[in-house]
């Protein structure tokens, strides 16, 4: 049996916290294809806020989470630019080609990534959407745990967190990461469409990709 689930039931102007027991398969044991229903459900839930519904009128919703989270931790970036560190045998054997360049780009472009993200359509986001916060009940219903960070976010931001976290935390092999991104993107977009959002799908891609600035920290 899973731990108590703290859920958020959202109305037009208020949010109600729900505490209940949930049984089912946690996200860390899902196959790649099993992420599709969760991504679709997120799309259906977030679409109304992208098509005119106001966010809940409660004072505790988080704001500007992505910028704060990715900039608040003190980090010594010297190693990122240290050729000797990158030439260490363990680093060469463990890290894939292109990783240093990619991380350096995110570091250099983080202000631009924040601006891009903050300019995209806004919706209600969970903001800690990763496999261990997802449970698929026996009925097939998806439950999302731990709403302590809930607040305003960007279209695609939650699924943009789900995809890399699934691999970073070793629930999905790195070799399957591209396939997982396709499954999650397609299903999330389908959920948005089903709930009435009919704008440019490239906005979803920008939301997913720009939210990667979270890992700059």
- Rounded to the nearest 10 degrees, what angle do helices 201-210 and 157-168 cross at? 50
Domain regions of the chain by residue span: 25-55+62-216
Phi, psi (deg, nearest 5) at residue 137: -70, 165
pTM beyond 0.75: the answer is yes
Q: Looking at residues 62-88, what average pLDDT do you find?
A: 91
Residue range 127-136: mean pLDDT, rounded: 95
Query: What is the reported pLDDT for 73?
Result: 83
pLDDT for 97 equals 85
Q: What pLDDT does residue 18 have?
A: 57
Sign (positive or negative) of CA dihedral 12, 197, 161, 205: negative
**Protein fold of 25-55+62-216:** Aminoglycoside 3'-phosphotransferase; Chain: A, domain 2 (3.90.1200)
Longest C-alpha distance within the chain, in Å?
57
Instruction: Report the mean per-residue pLDDT for the chain.
Output: 89
């Amino acid at each position: 049996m899973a731990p108590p689930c703290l859920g958020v039931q959202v109305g037009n102007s208020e949010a109600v916290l729900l505490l209940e027991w949930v049984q089912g398969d946690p996200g860390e044991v899902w196959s790649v294809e099993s992420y599709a229903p969760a991504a679709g459900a997120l799309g259906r839930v977030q679409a109304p806020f992208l098509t005119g519904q106001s966010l809940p009128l409660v004072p505790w919703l988080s704001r500007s989470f992505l910028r704060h989270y990715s900039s608040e931790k003190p980090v010594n970036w010297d190693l990122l630019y240290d050729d000797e560190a990158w030439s260490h045998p363990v680093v060469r054997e463990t890290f894939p080609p292109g990783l240093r360049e990619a991380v350096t780009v995110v570091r250099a472009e983080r202000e631009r990534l924040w601006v891009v993200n903050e300019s995209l359509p806004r919706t209600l986001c969970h903001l800690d959407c990763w496999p261990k916060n997802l449970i698929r009940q026996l009925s097939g219903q998806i439950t999302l745990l731990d709403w302590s960070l809930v607040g305003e976010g960007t279209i695609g931001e939650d699924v943009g967190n789900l995809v890399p976290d699934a691999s970073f935390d070793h629930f999905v092999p790195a070799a399957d990461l591209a396939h997982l991104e396709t499954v999650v993107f397609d299903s999330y977009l389908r959920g948005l469409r089903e709930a009435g959002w009919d704008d440019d799908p490239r906005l979803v891609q920008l939301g997913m990709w720009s939210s990667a600035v979270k890992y700059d920290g």
